[in-house]
């Protein structure tokens, strides 16, 4: 008849199991930290990240006659063989009113390239008032060899910026994008095709 494990062995085994479970939990939290941080930034405008809002949220915002200048900036990482630029350098927009800006991108190589765009707002204090409804930056974009596209972003500037003490002197907001290449692996899939501009224009 097999002898029962000693109480000390049982305690050691429990401690080992608990330690292993804790290590797995910490590993999982580490992997989740980046997307969770990005979600937090998009929801709050923290760290110069423009807020992401739904169609329903945008519909509840009332426009005003006040205006703001928005400047657009486009960059690519050193390993990204794309031509990427804004189709317009600046726009003068009415606060609370939906606007659409477009960015031009072209794959300069003879192979498919998948990219993802990071973004931020300057000044940082204006980020929580800059709201994106639709944007090419929400998903990965894949361009075939030599392919060129015009990618839209639909946004509005919250009129509440006028009453914010940190933005009393803000006359222009800069929306900046940087495209980075992601692993060009067939397992990623075909990526996302930017929606046609005429379809997006009807939603404004």
Q: Tell me the CATH number at 146.
A: 2.60.370.10
Helix residue ranges per DSSP H, the chain: 7-44, 55-59, 197-202
Looking at the domain assignment, is residue 41 inside a domain? Answer: no
Residues of the chain scoring pLDDT < 70 = 1-12, 15-16, 18-50, 184-204
pLDDT of residue 53: 76
User: Residues 6 or more apart from 71 whose CB is under 8 A from it?
Assistant: 89, 90, 172, 173, 174, 175
**Strand partners of residue 105:** 84, 149
Residue 94 counted as domain residue: yes
The whole-angstrom separation of Cα 39 and Cα 18 is 30
3-state secondary structure of 199: helix
pLDDT value of position 13: 72
pTM: 0.69
Is 37 part of any domain?
A: no
Question: In this structure, how many other beta carbons lie within 10 angstroms of the beta carbon of residue 123?
Answer: 14
Judge whether 173 lies within some domain.
yes
Separation between Cα atoms, residue 70 and residue 60, nearest integer Å: 22
End-to-end CA distance of the chain: 78
- Domain containing 120 equals 47-202
Q: Is residue 196 domain-resident?
A: yes
CA distance 61 to 157: 10
Q: Which of 196, 95, 88, 184 is nearest to 136 (CA)?
A: 196
Residue 17: the pLDDT is: 72
Question: Given phi > 0 = left and psi -120 to 50 = alpha, else beta, which region is 184?
Answer: beta
Question: Cα dihedral sign for 70, 134, 163, 177?
Answer: negative
Query: Looking at the 3D structure of the chain, how many domains does it have?
Result: 1
In a domain, 31, yes or no: no
pLDDT value of residue 116? 94
Q: Does residue 127 fall inside a structural domain?
A: yes
Task: Give CA–CA dist 151/106, Å, rounded.
Answer: 11
């Amino acid at each position: 008849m097999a002898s029962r494990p000693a109480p000390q062995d049982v305690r050691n085994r429990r401690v080992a199991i608990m330690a292993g479970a804790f290590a797995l939990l910490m590993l999982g939290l580490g992997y989740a930290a980046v997307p969770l941080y990005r979600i937090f930034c998009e929801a709050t405008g923290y760290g110069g990240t423009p807020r992401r809002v739904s169609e329903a949220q945008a519909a509840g915002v009332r426009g005003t006659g006040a205006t703001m200048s928005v400047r657009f900036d486009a960059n690519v990482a050193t390993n990204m063989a794309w031509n990427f630029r804004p189709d317009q350098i600046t726009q003068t927009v009415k606060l609370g009113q939906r606007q659409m800006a477009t960015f031009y991108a072209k794959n300069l190589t003879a192979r498919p390239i998948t990219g993802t765009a990071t973004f931020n707002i300057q000044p940082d204090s204006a980020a929580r008032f800059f709201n994106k409804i639709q944007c090419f930056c929400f998903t990965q974009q894949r361009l075939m060899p030599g392919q060129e596209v015009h990618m839209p972003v639909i946004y509005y500037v919250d009129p509440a910026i006028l009453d914010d003490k940190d933005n009393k002197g803000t006359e222009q907001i800069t929306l900046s994008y940087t495209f980075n290449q992601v692993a060009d692996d067939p397992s990623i899939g075909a990526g996302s095709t930017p929606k046609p501009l005429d379809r997006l224009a009807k939603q404004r």
